[in-house]
């Protein structure tokens, strides 16, 4: 199984023009025999074959982590793997769109630069991608009114623009776009938050993810997977929050 390495083309900006070079196990071994062993055995032969998450879900989690951390080196390999694992082109496109709001526009644009080449290589045209405007999913008016009221009461006087955009752009638009199921959209969001070390937002979004169908086993395995792709400190920093969510949901 090959890894993907992106290197800057001579005389060009690293983010704007890059060419792809194949990196194999011999290349990794020449730099770090231990890393080659861990990559081959722990990552690809063990982690990706654990039963707690389907390969498609692991790809969704990994892609979200890479975009959240703006790690373009691994994006070509994992974008291709995601498509091979059952993630539709429209879903990969929508993951990038979603993470513009949750990881920032620059992160999303870095992903666009890589995905453009992946889509071109596979003959994926704009007809296979979500439209700019689509018929939105039905909104849970009661739950959204409760969320909006709570946020407005807490922060409306501090930053009314952010509070209003959160309601109008995120929860009454982005979250209702049909190109991702609510469960997958939540999986992307929680993965990106943990990968970026944004644990303060995990409580709300993990509860939302589980309300949207993510099981406790899948949430636990997501955290196990993310330790490899965003580092042990980020995974362990999220552990107390995840533990608290699990415990409180069991008490309900």
Segment 132-140 shows an average pLDDT of 97
pLDDT of residue 97: 98
3-state secondary structure of 23: strand
Kindly report which listed range (4-13, 151-160, 182-191) carries the lowest average pLDDT score: 4-13
Whether the CB-CB separation of 171 and 147 falls below 8 Å is answered with yes
Give 3-state DSSP helix, strand, coil % of the chain, rounded to 5: 70, 5, 25
Where along the chain do its domains lie?
A: 50-125+150-251
- 40, two tokens: 């081959």
The overall pTM is greater than 0.75: yes
Give burial (CB, 10 Å; 0-12/13-18/19+) of 90. middle
Handedness of CA 231, 233, 234, 238 (dihedral sign): positive
d(CA 251, CA 88): 37
At the fourth CATH level, which superfamily is domain 50-125+150-251?
A: AhpD-like (1.20.1290.10)
| pLDDT bucket at 191, cuts 50 / 70 / 90 | very high
């Amino acid at each position: 199984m090959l890894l993907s390495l992106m290197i800057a083309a001579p005389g060009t900006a690293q983010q704007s023009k890059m060419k792809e070079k194949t990196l194999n196990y011999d290349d990794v071994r020449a730099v770090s025999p231990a890393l080659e062993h861990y990559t081959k055995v722990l990552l690809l032969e063990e982690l990706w074959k654990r039963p707690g998450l389907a390969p498609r879900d692991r790809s969704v989690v990994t892609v979200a982590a890479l975009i959240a951390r703006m790690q373009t080196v691994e994006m070509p390999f994992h974008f291709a793997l995601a498509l091979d694992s059952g993630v539709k082109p429209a879903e990969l496109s929508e993951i990038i769109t979603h993470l513009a709001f949750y990881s920032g526009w620059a992160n999303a644009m870095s992903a666009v630069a890589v995905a453009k080449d992946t889509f071109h290589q596979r003959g994926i045209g704009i007809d296979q991608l979500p439209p700019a405007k689509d018929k939105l999913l039905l909104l849970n008016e009661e739950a959204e009114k409760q969320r909006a009221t709570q946020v407005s009461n807490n922060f409306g006087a501090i930053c009314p623009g952010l509070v209003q955009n959160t309601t109008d752009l995120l929860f009454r638009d982005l979250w209702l776009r049909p190109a991702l199921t609510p469960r997958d959209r939540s999986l992307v969001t929680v993965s990106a938050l943990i990968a970026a070390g944004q644990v303060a937002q995990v409580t709300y979004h993990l509860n939302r993810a589980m309300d949207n169908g993510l099981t406790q086993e899948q949430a636990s395995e997501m955290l196990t997977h993310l330790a490899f792709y965003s580092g042990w400190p980020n995974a362990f920093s999220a552990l107390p929050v995840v533990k608290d969510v699990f415990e409180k949901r069991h008490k309900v």
